[in-house]
Chains A and B, each alone.
Chain A
Amino acid sequence: MNFDKDLDARGLNCPLPIIKTKKALNDLTTGQVLRVTSTDSGSIKDMEAFAKQTGNELLSSAQEGGAYVFMLKKK
């Protein structure tokens, strides 16, 4: 999947992946896609909740080689 910005949040623990995601989205415009890679297993649920609360769409959530990869579309 194509994306416009890439955020490497590996090694960071709660709540940093979410806060960095929010900051990274600030640099995008509506409809652009952010890829986030995280090693925090809590971020699976947290990213869903973040999308629900903020209205940014979680396009996909996958596990790839020990990390979690999320695609978020900016509202």
Chain B
Amino acid sequence: MEPKKMALIATKGTLDWAYPPLILASTAAALGFEVQVFCTFYGLSLLRKDLSGIKISPLANPAMPMPVPMPVLVQALPGMEAMATMMMKNKMKAKGVASLEELRSLCLEAEVKFIACQMTVDLFDFAPSDFIDGIEFGGATTFLDFAGSADIQLYI
């Protein structure tokens, strides 16, 4: 029987948005799905060698639970983003949530195919050496070629 297929487009580069594509891709691969993740715009950050630049910001995110109520202008102060990121990462660790690095290596180990959008790589002046090994570079057609026969297609 042909394995099921899942095609994802990852477009966001913040800590909270980096999780869904990596969780779905690693889990689907564990279920035996063939998985491709097309990373475009800020989703390219999932493919960078160093994932420590991925942060979360309380700004423009009124749903983010805060330990103490914090006015928006305070959230905009220097250092608040780094603090929010550190707090979120600590909380994730305490709750047994995998790190992005761990999820990504599980994906690679399970042969999830990552495709970096060549157009946005050029747009942001990234070099192939900015990214991890084993990924491919391609465009919309590359994605659609796989997604057209996929059982699940999600834009994240």
Q: Which residues of A contact B (CB under 8 A)?
A: 11-16, 18-19, 21-23, 39-40, 50, 53-54
Does B26 belong to the interface (CB within 8 Å)?
A: yes
Cα distance, A18 to B30, chains bound together (Å): 8
The distance from the CB of B46 to the nearest CB of chain A, in whole angstroms, is 16
B26 touching A15 by the CB < 8 A rule? yes
Query: Which range contains the number of B residues in contact with the other chain?
Result: 10 to 19
Flag whether B96 is at the interface (Cβ < 8 A): yes
Main secondary structure of the interface of A (DSSP, over half): helix
Interface residues of B in 10-27 (CB under 8 A from A): 23, 26-27
Whether A40 touches B96, Cβ cut-off 8 Å, given contacts A15-B23, A15-B26, A19-B106, is: yes
- Chain A residue contacts of B30, Cβ below 8 A: 15, 18-19, 21-23, 50
Shortest CB distance B27–A (Å): 4
**Could you write out 20 A-B pairs with CB less than 8 Å apart?**
A11-B96, A12-B96, A12-B98, A13-B96, A13-B97, A13-B98, A15-B23, A15-B30, A15-B98, A16-B96, A18-B27, A19-B27, A19-B30, A21-B30, A22-B30, A22-B31, A39-B96, A53-B31, A53-B32, A54-B31
- B103's nearest neighbour on chain A, judged by CB, is A15
Additional pairs, 14, CB under 8 Å, beyond known A16-B98, A19-B106, A22-B30: A12-B98, A13-B95, A13-B96, A15-B23, A15-B27, A15-B30, A18-B27, A18-B30, A19-B27, A21-B30, A39-B96, A50-B30, A50-B31, A53-B32
B89-111 residues at the A interface, CB under 8 angstroms = 95-98, 106
Bound CA–CA A29/B30 (angstroms): 17
With A19-B106, A40-B96 as contacts: A14 and B32 at CB distance below 8 Å: no
- A39 vs B27: C-alpha distance in the bound complex, in angstroms? 18
Chain B residues lying within 8 Å of A50, measured Cβ to Cβ, are: 30-31
